[in-house]
Amino acid sequence: MQAHHQNIALKLSRNLSVVSLRVLGLSLLLFGPAMASYRLAPVHGASMEPTLWDGQSVVYRESTDIHWRPRRGQVVVFHSPTEPGHRYVKRLIGLPGDEIKISRGTVWVNGKKAPLPPSAIEADQYLATRVPEGSFFALGDHAKVSFDSRSFGPVAMSNLVGPLVYPRHP
């Protein structure tokens, strides 16, 4: 009788192992790719102060999701248009077709004042441009030290990596 119970316990154990492996496999299939797209990276430099600080760790998502659409004001990661192999973290302020005007310390997007930190624009800066199709316009939150679209112009959407997810910003 004891051997019979051991046999049943062994069969039950095998069945549970098979079910566990199937659940694990299904979980990895469903959630593994999504989890694999999150990256941890340090911030280098002061270009995003006071929002992000030099040495601070951030998490961003490498977005292959066709449903994700970048939004104005969102902090994003993108491949540098001028330095191959480098990635920048900046605030996206302009999308294709947007009219960007920088004047007297204020950024205007399509005639509306962009909500940016006071350090984002210096009072003596002036710029007026339209963001071309297939491009975006990005600024650092610390104008004096940020190398951004004011210097290198609009960036191709194909350079966009994805949104910052931690710390969370609009």
End-to-end CA distance of the chain: 66
Placement of tokens 């566990």 in the chain? 20
Q: Catalytic residue among 27, 37, 47, 80, which?
A: 47
Could you confirm whether 90 is annotated as catalytic?
yes
Diameter of the chain by CA atoms?
91
Q: Catalytic residue among 20, 37, 90, 135, which?
A: 90
Could you confirm whether 17 is annotated as catalytic?
no
Residue 55: left if φ>0, alpha if ψ -120 to 50, beta else—which one? left
Q: Which amino acid is at 31?
A: F
* Residues marked as catalytic: 47, 90
